[in-house]
Amino acid sequence: MEIIADLHVHSRYARATSSNLSIENLEKYARIKGLGLLGTGDFQHPEHRKEIDEKLTEDENGILRTVNGFPFIWQTEISFMYTQGGKGRAIHLVIFAPNGKIADEITEYLKSKGRVDYDGRPIFGISCKDFVKDMKEIDDKIEIIPAHCMTPWFGLFGSKKGFDSLQECFEEQTKHIYAIESGISADPQMLWRFKEKVNVVSFSDCHSFWPWRIGRESTIFEIPELTYDNIIKVIRTGQGLKATIETPPAYGRYHWDGHRNCNFSCGPEKTKQLNKICPVCKKPLIVGVDYRVEEIAKEDANYKPENAKKFYTLLPLHELIALQSNSGMSSQKVWKIYNEIIEKFKNEFNVLLNATKEQMFGKEINEKLVELILKNREGKIRIKPGYDGEYGVALLEEQKKLF
């Protein structure tokens, strides 16, 4: 069976998240998106844990299901802030648990280190290597994945408080790290250049349930049946990891270098000329992912390992409709067009990945929008790169008629 999964989400109890981020809304919009599996998000938070227990039922394979049968796995994200190698570090890790009992043991461990009730993504002063060691002593089936690994502030390879390699961060515990999460500002092509012996997975880290957030980055699994063990086997071995779905790296909030408050951004070459100093305020620039990749890459930009997995580069459908109609992404006009398309094609990924030009014209989709959908599938939509917390901006160019 083939499943498109988003295994890094949050609850309403995490900072900067939607107050309506409920299990029901996650299920509703996951189905609209075309997802077949979600993470629970924030399982250690006491209030969210109550919601999980009330609304999800766990089976013998570690899969939790809603009353309508939609599946989840136990998942959370933890922030680690500590000093290693004479430098302050700040790293986010995604954690999967094989069942509720082990999720409880992880929660009790975290409680012994600090509070778990003030944020869905709590902060602890534990080193990543010590945390991995402690998790493996609880249960080897616990999976730890560095989250959005390239972001400057909280990514494993981030320019501000990250490391130059997995080995530098995890030391002897590196053997327990099987995958890294690409994040919105990076893609597998960039991460292959580091020559780390790990798989690349992609999940959204969504803070709301809207279709332009949930599943915007996801992973396509091919497994014999849906069990926790089968999902983890794919993550660890790469066998059955069919592909990842990525947003264009330039769409991410930290792709280029710059200062949001100075309204200044630039690419790596300009940053080098400026000696990493902002020409507006004369303070150090926030160095983004594109620059950071070049700093630590071991191979050139065209490098592709023998075991490289396929990846799709896609903007969300809402973004395309907003671009074509010159409307706000959450406007009534965009929602109307979006809902009409979903009614005709069942879910968003069917449109973004599978629908042919003829099928879309047969369903009376606007010609210019069809062209954008096809260009999106080919990764040919131009984007003004994001920087210092600002998302990239898709740009509309003159379009030729299809016929």
What is 91-147 written as a DSSP string?
EEEEEEESSHHHHHHHHHHHHTTS-SSS-SS-EE---HHHHHHHHHHH-TT-EEEES
pLDDT (0 to 100) of residue 328: 94
Contact 24, 55 (CB under 8 A): yes
Phi, psi of 318 (to 5 degrees): -55, -40
SS3 220: strand
pLDDT (0 to 100) of residue 401: 45
Could you give the angle at the alpha carbon of 382 between the alpha carbons of 378 and 384, nearest 5°? 140
> Which portions of the chain are predicted below pLDDT 50?
399-403
Domains and CATH numbers, the chain: 2-251 (3.20.20.140), 316-380 (no CATH)
pLDDT (0 to 100) of residue 14: 97
pLDDT (0 to 100) of residue 396: 84
pLDDT (0 to 100) of residue 400: 47
Instruction: Summarize pLDDT for 24-77 with one digit per residue, the tens.
Output: 999 999 999 999 999 999 999 999 999 999 999 999 999 999 999 999 999 999
pLDDT (0 to 100) of residue 398: 52
Residue 362 host element (H or E): helix 357-362
User: What is the distance between the alpha carbons of residues 367 and 254, in angstroms, rounded to a whole number?
Assistant: 33
